[in-house]
């Protein structure tokens, strides 16, 4: 026989448990912190701090320089043996699609190094040459100072951890900045045509 | 005595260097720190068992509400996002340090004894494959599930979970089908003559 108080106690425990799981998975939609971040950005695009960056030609600029044009952003370090190469290839293919679409494709590419200690202008230039990147269409840049770097990583939600053999492990996402200069979407890097299409769609009014 | 030992162990785990050391590796975080925190809750359960209010013992019929709480609590802390949160956010880590002993270990210690053998068997039979499945998932995932852990750490965690599932499964199999080694068992094996090849 069921005892007194059993059903109320079970109901409280089950309700609390389901509520906790729903909260932690944003309503049973995500199980990873990267997924949660992706969902939250799509719902509420975030304003980015206007951090000063320096590109491969030594020119200083900031996100506000792009006003009115969507930008695809990735985070790299030029000493990266694995992932950044894939990211570089992806952006190279997006660049080809942009050129194929004529000079009219109103989008830009930006690769930001989170390793400004090793990535001087020369290193950024070499990385850019490897993938055919030319400023200002595709800038390879680094933050002008350490504080800017911390602000950038924080606002983009990029987590960089040491890989244990002198390099770094980091998010492999591509970030889409919309025409109003807000971080609007976090995209999977595996399909350059889709990256191109998403950026182009963001350029439409 | 048990209670203060549990609180002492809890405080040691909370100490900054210990906490950082146990959370710096995914496998150690999942397979050492989390079970230790649950174990502290079990100790607390033994200490408070004589003082358990009657209404609670009554309402926890067959230990069902308690074990449901345990299932929810352990599921929550198996989410990669929760694990990430515990590393990134001190408040989330504090929630882990409180919820694992009090909402998982404590109800487990109180409710387990009230459960019928079939209920216990059901929980074991669910828990062991779940460990193995999550381990397999970690190994099969091409990308990192936790932003704060490397892919190789994730693979180690996956293998450890699978090995743990195999070991627990084998032990449980032996206990379920052969029974615990009882005094009678030894007599039985002495009484049965070994089969000789002819």
Q: Express each pLDDT in A17-46 by its tens digit.
A: 999 999 999 999 998 888 899 999 999 999
Share of chain A above pLDDT 90, in %: 55
Q: Is the pTM of this model over 0.90?
A: no
- Burial (CB < 10 A; 0-12, 13-18, 19+), residue A95, is buried
The mean pLDDT value for A161-166 works out to 78
Q: How far apart are CA A14 and CA B21, in angstroms?
A: 34
Residues whose CB is less than 8 angstroms from the CB of residue B105 and which lie 6 or more positions away in sequence, other chains included: B37, B38, B39, B40, B41, B42, B43, B44, B45
Is pLDDT above 90 for A61?
yes
Note the ipTM here.
0.83
Cβ separation of A30 and B81 shorter than 8 Å?
A: yes
Nearest to A137 by CA among A192, A195, A55, A45: A55
- In angstroms, the Cα distances linking A145 to A115, A117, A142, A151, A158 are 11, 10, 9, 10, 17
Q: How far apart are CA A138 and CA A72, in angstroms?
A: 9
Phi, psi (deg, nearest 5) at residue A53: -120, 155
The mean pLDDT value for B31-58 works out to 94
Is pLDDT above 90 for B52?
yes
Report whether A25 contacts A31 (CB < 8 A): yes
Least confident of A47-56, A101-110, A185-194, B82-91: A101-110
Report whether A170 contacts A75 (CB < 8 A): yes
Residues in chain A: 205
Tell me the per-residue pLDDT of A132-157, one tens digit each, with 9 for 90 and over.
999 889 999 999 988 999 999 989 98
Phi, psi (deg, nearest 5) at residue A71: -130, 135
Distance from B93 to chain A by nearest Cα, in Å?
A: 14
Tell me the per-residue pLDDT of A102-135, one tens digit each, with 9 for 90 and over.
666 789 999 999 998 889 999 999 999 999 999 8
Nearest to B51 by CA among B9, B106, B8, B115: B106
- Chain B residues touching chain A at CB-CB below 8 Å: 55-56, 58-61, 64-66, 68-69, 71-73, 75-76, 79-82, 84-85, 88, 143-151
pLDDT of A15 reads 97
Residues of A in contact with B85 (CB under 8 A): 24, 33
Q: Using CB atoms and an 8 Å cut-off, which of residues 138-177 of chain A contact chain B?
A: 159, 161, 163-164, 169, 171-172
- Burial (CB < 10 A; 0-12, 13-18, 19+), residue A72, is buried
Residues in chain B: 198
Q: How far apart are CA B65 and CA B114, in angstroms?
A: 11
The mean pLDDT value for B39-63 works out to 94
Q: Which of B56, B64, B143 sits opposite A10 (nearest CB)?
A: B64
The two three-digit tokens of residue A195, written as one number? 């990256």
Give the residue from B23, B59, B146 with the most A CB atoms within 10 Å of its CB, the best one to mutate. B59
What secondary structure letter does DSSP report for A51?
-
pLDDT of B180 reads 67
Distance from B175 to chain A by nearest Cα, in Å?
A: 30
The mean pLDDT value for A48-59 works out to 93
| CATH 3.40.30.10 domain range(s) in chain A | 48-203
What is the residue whose two structure tokens read 């100490």?
A: B15
Q: Which residues pair with A73 in a beta bridge?
A: A110, A175
Q: How far apart are CA B56 and CA B82, in angstroms?
A: 30
pLDDT of B33 reads 95
Confidence of residue B70 (pLDDT cuts 50, 70, 90): very high
Confidence of residue B190 (pLDDT cuts 50, 70, 90): very low
Give the residue from B54, B63, B65 with the most A CB atoms within 10 Å of its CB, the best one to mutate. B65
Mean pLDDT of chain A: 89
pLDDT of B49 reads 93
Tell me the per-residue pLDDT of B116-168, one tens digit each, with 9 for 90 and over.
999 999 999 999 999 999 999 889 887 788 888 888 889 999 999 999 999 99
- In angstroms, the Cα distances linking A173 to A45, A50, A156 are 16, 21, 10
Q: What is the residue extent of each domain of chain B?
A: 2-178
Q: At what angle do helices A83-100 and A121-131 cross, to 10 degrees?
A: 60
Report whether B110 contacts B60 (CB < 8 A): yes
Superfamily classification of domain A48-203: Glutaredoxin (3.40.30.10)
Q: How far apart are CA A172 and CA A170, in angstroms?
A: 6
């Amino acid at each position: 026989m069921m005892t007194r108080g059993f059903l109320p106690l079970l109901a409280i425990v089950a309700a609390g448990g389901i509520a906790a799981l729903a909260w932690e998975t944003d309503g049973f939609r995500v199980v990873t912190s990267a997924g949660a971040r992706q969902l939250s950005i799509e719902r509420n695009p975030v304003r980015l701090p206007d951090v000063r960056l320096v590109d491969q030609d030594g020119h200083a600029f900031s996100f506000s320089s792009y006003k009115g044009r969507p930008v695809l952003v990735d985070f790299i370090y030029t000493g990266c043996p694995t992932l950044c190469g894939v990211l570089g290839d992806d952006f190279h293919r997006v660049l080809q699609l942009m050129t194929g679409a004529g000079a009219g494709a109103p989008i830009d590419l930006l690769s930001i190094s989170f390793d400004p200690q090793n990535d001087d202008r020369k290193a950024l230039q070499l990385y850019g040459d490897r993938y055919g990147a030319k400023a200002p269409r595709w800038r390879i840049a680094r933050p002008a100072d350490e504080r800017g770097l911390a602000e950038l990583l924080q606002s983009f939600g990029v987590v960089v951890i040491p890989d244990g053999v002198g390099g770094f492990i980091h998010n492999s996402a591509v970030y889409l900045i919309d025409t109003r200069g807000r971080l609007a979407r976090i995209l999977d890097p595996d399909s350059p045509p889709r990256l191109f299409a998403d950026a182009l769609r963001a350029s439409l009014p | 005595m048990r209670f203060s030992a549990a609180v002492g162990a809890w405080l040691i785990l909370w100490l900054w260097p210990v906490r950082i050391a146990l959370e710096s590796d995914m496998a150690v975080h999942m397979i050492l720190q989390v079970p230790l925190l649950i174990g502290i809750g079990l100790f607390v359960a033994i200490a408070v068992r004589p003082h358990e209010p009657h209404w609670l013992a009554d309402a926890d019929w067959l230990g069902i509400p308690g074990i449901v709480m345990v299932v929810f609590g352990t599921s929550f802390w198996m989410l990669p996002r929760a694990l990430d949160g515990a590393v990134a956010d001190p408040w989330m880590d504090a929630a882990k340090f409180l919820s694992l002993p009090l909402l998982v270990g404590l109800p487990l210690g109180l409710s387990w004894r009230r459960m019928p053998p079939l209920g216990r068997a059901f929980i074991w039979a669910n828990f062991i494959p779940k460990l193995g499945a999550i381990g397999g998932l970690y190994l099969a995932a091409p990308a990192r599930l936790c932003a704060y852990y490397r892919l190789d750490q994730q693979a180690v965690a996956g293998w450890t979970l699978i090995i743990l599932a195999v070991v627990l499964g084998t032990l449980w199999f032996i206990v379920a089908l052969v029974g615990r080694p009882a005094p009678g068992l030894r007599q039985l094996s002495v009484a049965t003559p070994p089969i000789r090849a002819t």
